[in-house]
């Protein structure tokens, strides 16, 4: 089949391209080689059996050229960074919502043999994950407010009875509470694709990736990918910097599984018109992540627990993966496994830009208050 992968030079897209090429598909990539991700260099891992259109999803001519003959489109191109999206508002909305709109506009108005569209969504659309209250049962909680963050009370409390809540697996049916610009654009991407897909009979699958990790994730991009931010701190002799008390949790999914689920969704009709969580279902604390990475890298550096809260951060979110498993997908890495990432990182240069990125965030958000 002829397949288009937007963002196919990126971390996730690159792995997906490899899997598709391996299966004998003809793969084309549309990617603008964003400087923040690639630092001006064509990635050495780019599969030489794929065709590359270097262009922006906002450029109609490039999109039209990339879509020629495409029967399946994986839309993974996006500006990726939660904190940064709060001050590069126009860039994020333009690239993510506008770029998706451009692809859909071309699909609808051009003459394309498209049979399936698979869009990269995100767990950030949920805001806080689902919780259990000892008195009220399952509850959905809003983001902690600025006053609570100022008091450094990190636990999420029940909106009905104020009891401290216990995190529960988050199913696809949890209401969406996209509280930052990046999350809003991911929600928009998903909903734009679903709307056009249903109207024109193009089967759409929206894959809500949780926190993805693995080889090739940029070690020099301080705006996204907490595992890589920690690795680049450690490799440069600096301790990982942790917000709050480090006991906040995330669901880390290996990039091989993310690419694997994409291929699975393409091959299984039951995934059509579905939003599907792509996680493992196992929460990992951020402090635990930093400690495991330090141990694997043979570094004695313990993390700095800053006890500092960032506006907009959630406390816990991990996936309910029953839907994914019910469709028949079997994980290659059912629980976090940092070996492939750490092994790859030891031979990869990394620039630690964390301090600059943090200063930028603090300055911008300080101005907003």
d(CA 243, CA 347): 28
d(CA 205, CA 360): 36
Tokens of 307: 């006890």
Pick from 288, 277, 208, 211: nearest CA to 246: 288
Q: Is position 166 an interface residue for Zn ion (rule: CB under 5 A)?
A: no
75: three-class secondary structure by DSSP: strand
Choose the binding region for ligand NAD from 6-14, 18-26, 166-174, 345-353 (rule: CB under 6 A): 6-14
Choose the binding region for Zn ion from 54-62, 111-119, 152-160, 338-346 (rule: CB under 5 A): 152-160
* Shortest CB 191 distance to Zn ion, Å: 31
* Shortest CB 216 distance to ligand NAD, Å: 8
Choose the binding region for Zn ion from 151-159, 221-229, 234-242, 250-258 (rule: CB under 5 A): 151-159
12 binds, among Zn ion, ligand NAD, none (CB under 5 to 8 A by kind): ligand NAD
Question: Where do the DSSP E strands lie in the chain?
Answer: 2-6, 26-31, 51-54, 72-75, 116-122, 130-133, 137-140, 166-167, 204-209, 211-213, 241-242, 249-254, 274-278, 283-285, 304-305
Q: Is position 80 an interface residue for ligand NAD (rule: CB under 6 A)?
A: yes
Q: Is position 365 an interface residue for Zn ion (rule: CB under 5 A)?
A: no
133 binds, among ligand NAD, Zn ion, none (CB under 5 to 8 A by kind): Zn ion
Choosing from 3, 12, 265, 321, the residue that interacts with ligand NAD (CB under 6 A) is 12
- 255 near 212, Cβ under 8 Å? yes
C-beta closer to ligand NAD: residue 157 or 310: 310
Question: Where do the DSSP E strands lie in 43-182?
Answer: 51-54, 72-75, 116-122, 130-133, 137-140, 166-167
C-beta closer to ligand NAD: residue 79 or 118: 79
Q: 103 — alpha (psi -120 to 50), left (phi > 0) or beta? A: alpha
Q: Is position 164 an interface residue for Zn ion (rule: CB under 5 A)?
A: no
- 163 near 138, Cβ under 8 Å? no
d(CA 93, CA 178): 14
Pick from 265, 267, 116: nearest CA to 193: 116
* Shortest CB 352 distance to ligand NAD, Å: 18
Hey, which residues between 95 and 124 contact ligand NAD (CB under 6 A)?
95, 99, 120, 122
135 binds, among ligand NAD, Zn ion, none (CB under 5 to 8 A by kind): Zn ion
Q: Which residues bind Zn ion (CB under 5 A)?
A: 133, 135-136, 158, 160-161, 163
Residues near ligand NAD, by CB under 6 A: 7, 9-13, 30-34, 37, 56-58, 76-80, 95, 99, 120, 122, 186, 209, 211-212, 225
């Amino acid at each position: 089949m002829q397949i288009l992968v937007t963002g196919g030079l990126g971390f996730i897209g690159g792995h997906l391209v490899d899997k598709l090429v391996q299966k004998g598909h003809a793969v084309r990539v549309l990617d603008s080689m964003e400087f923040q991700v690639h630092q001006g260099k064509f990635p050495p891992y780019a599969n030489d059996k794929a065709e590359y259109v270097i262009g922006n999803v906002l450029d109609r001519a490039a999109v039209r050229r990339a879509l020629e003959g495409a029967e399946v489109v994986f839309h993974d191109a996006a500006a990726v960074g939660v904190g940064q999206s709060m001050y590069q508002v126009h860039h994020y909305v333009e690239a993510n919502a506008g770029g998706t709109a451009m692809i859909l506009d071309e699909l609808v108005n051009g003459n394309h043999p498209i049979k399936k569209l698979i869009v990269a969504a995100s767990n950030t659309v949920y805001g806080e994950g689902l919780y259990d209250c000892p008195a009220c049962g399952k509850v959905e909680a809003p983001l902690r407010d600025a006053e609570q963050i100022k008091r450094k009370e990190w636990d999420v409390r029940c909106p009905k009875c104020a009891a401290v809540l216990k995190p529960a697996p988050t199913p696809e049916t949890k209401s969406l509470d996209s509280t930052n610009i990046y999350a809003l654009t991911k929600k928009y991407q998903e909903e734009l694709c679903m709307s056009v897909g249903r109207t024109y009979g193009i089967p759409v699958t929206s894959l809500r990736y949780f926190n993805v990790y693995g080889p090739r994730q940029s070690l020099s991009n301080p705006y996204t990918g907490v595992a890589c931010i920690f690795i680049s701190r450690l490799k440069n002799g600096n301790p990982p910097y942790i917000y709050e008390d480090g006991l906040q949790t995330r669901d880390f999914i290996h990039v091989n599984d993310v690419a694997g689920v994409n291929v699975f969704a393409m091959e299984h009709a039951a995934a059509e018109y579905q939003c599907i969580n792509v996680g493992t279902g196992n929460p990992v604390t951020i402090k635990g992540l930093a400690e495991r990475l330090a141990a694997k890298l043979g570094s004695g550096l313990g993390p700095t627990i800053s006890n500092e809260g960032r506006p907009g951060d959630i406390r816990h979110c991990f996936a309910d993966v029953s839907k994914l498993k019910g469709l028949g997908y079997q994980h290659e890495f059912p629980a976090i496994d940092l070996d492939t990432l750490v092994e790859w990182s030891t031979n990869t240069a990394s620039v630690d830009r964390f301090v600059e990125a943090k200063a930028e965030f603090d300055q911008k958000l300080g101005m907003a208050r």
